[in-house]
Amino acid sequence: MVRRLAAPTRLCVAALLCAGMLAAQDAKLWVTAFDEKTGEVLRGLGPQNFTVSDGSTPLRVVEAEYSEDKLDVVLLADASAIGEGVRPLVAPVIERLAQGDQMALVAFEQSATLLQDFTGSKDLLLRAWGSVRYGNNPRILDALYAVLDGGFEGTVGRRAAIVMATGVEGSSETGLREVLQLARRRGVQIHFVYREGADSGLFEKAAGGSGGAYFFAKKLDLKPDELAARVYAAAKGRYELQVDGVSALGDRIKVEIAGLEKGKGKPVATALAVE
């Protein structure tokens, strides 16, 4: 069944970041750690491998636990006039769907269209993707907001959105701050895959501000199956960090990876504060 997703709803989210703070008695962060140069997830890290700050305030990492749980993921695929550039990457991500996980498929251009609701069936998802029609402007932020606003209702697993973009953001009415505020409210980590670098800064900020990973496909130069495996691994697994050293968590959380041997990679950590 194909249906149009509602246009972005302008909800008041001031309470989310009123004074930019969350109670931090049991302050937790969801963190994705990956190598920007290879796209590989970094496993086996401990509290000593993370440095965390909230603005200018350093926080102490008490625990760092990595887990891979049941995943409810929405795959947003570029179906704009330039969407053909990302088409070869979509089916391999669908093929990575693990047993027990669920995926929904959304095509976006001028608007967002739900092609397939949450299912564990790769066949249904691939069939839905085969029916996609290409349209106009790639309004990525509008599509993301619409998905975050109502696309995860009733889900019980780890929530993630994977955006497959050719590399250009169109004329969205929604701003990045609105998207990140809603991602935080809904507990959704956003992962970006893009072929071109025209709007790479925006995609990195969207992933980084929601505790997700980003993958510049052209630079990584991986086969579609290899790239899909690394993207799905980033969505499937994450670290949960417990921190102390501040009375409240703000919206300027920064996480860095420390204590690794110096090499050719570029380790990156992104975080989403848990409400």
Across 78-84, average pLDDT: 94
**The tokens of 126 are what?**
């691939």
Q: pTM for the whole thing?
A: 0.89
- CB of 167 closer than 8 Å to CB of 198: yes
Q: For 134-147, how does the pLDDT look when each residue is reduced to its tens digit (9 = 90+)?
A: 989 999 999 999 99
User: Given a cut of 80, is residue 75 above it in pLDDT?
Assistant: yes
pLDDT at 16 over 60: no
Query: What pLDDT, on the 0 to 100 scale, is given for residue 263?
Result: 80
Mean pLDDT of 152-166: 95
**Per-residue pLDDT band at 57 (split at 50, 70, 90):** confident
The contacts of residue 106 (CB under 8 Å, 6+ apart) are: 5, 74, 75, 76, 77, 112, 113, 114, 115, 143, 147, 151
For the ranges 22-31, 86-95, 233-242, the lowest mean pLDDT is seen at 22-31
Report the pLDDT averaged over residues 245-252: 66
Q: Is 98's pLDDT higher than 60?
A: yes
Q: Name the residue type at position 90.
A: V
List the domains of the chain with CATH numbers. Answer: 69-237 (3.40.50.410)
